[in-house]
Structure 1
């Protein structure tokens, strides 16, 4: 996926769902959202919709099949899920990683730990898909 496409998608998500920008002042962020996407930021949507008071409790009750990949070099990781919450809410913290690095396209220069992390994530996803089809066939 190109960096432009990721930036475009992330911009839309910040404006339509997350409703904040760390780098921009509130006024300029609101204008950017209106100009770029035709939407006004909904600053409390996530906590209202998902119940942001105790995200781990909410995830345990309503979430499934989520991998929380956190690179510990990333300042965002301190607000992330760093340990498994259940068999289908899995944390994969990495000492060397940074924000969404595992989602970037593979490169010849990727370090071994990143290659292994991606393999681990794929193995988990394959297990979930296999379980889904097994459950489907059991009905």
Structure 2
């Protein structure tokens, strides 16, 4: 079940990266400007061109770092999605109910009209199934 939890954490990380990217773009707009006039921005007008150039350089480097992280995590996400695609419908449903809905195996067996032993066995083998299909870079994530 840990693999699905890791996938959900990875999705949350990607959302955070998107927010970081939005913030950096807003900072670059403040210091560099949006229009056709380079350095015709609020920051350049208020603090001067030299300060604006230094800040733009800083934010440009930051944006590059964020884009590299985003690309790395998107590859990992695709790898997880490929592995999750290997689960059959019932395996995926059981994993989701344990990790996302935080239900016990007994609650899941009652809800899905399956024996408790079957649900326990399926939940035990899901991580093994996913582990087989994930690459090493994803397995090192958490």
- With the shorter chain as reference, the TM-score category is under 0.3
When you count helix as a share of all residues, which structure comes out higher? 2
State TM-score, norm by structure 2: 0.26
State TM-score, norm by structure 1: 0.26
Q: Which is bigger in relative contact order (C-alpha 8 A, separation at least 6)? A: 2
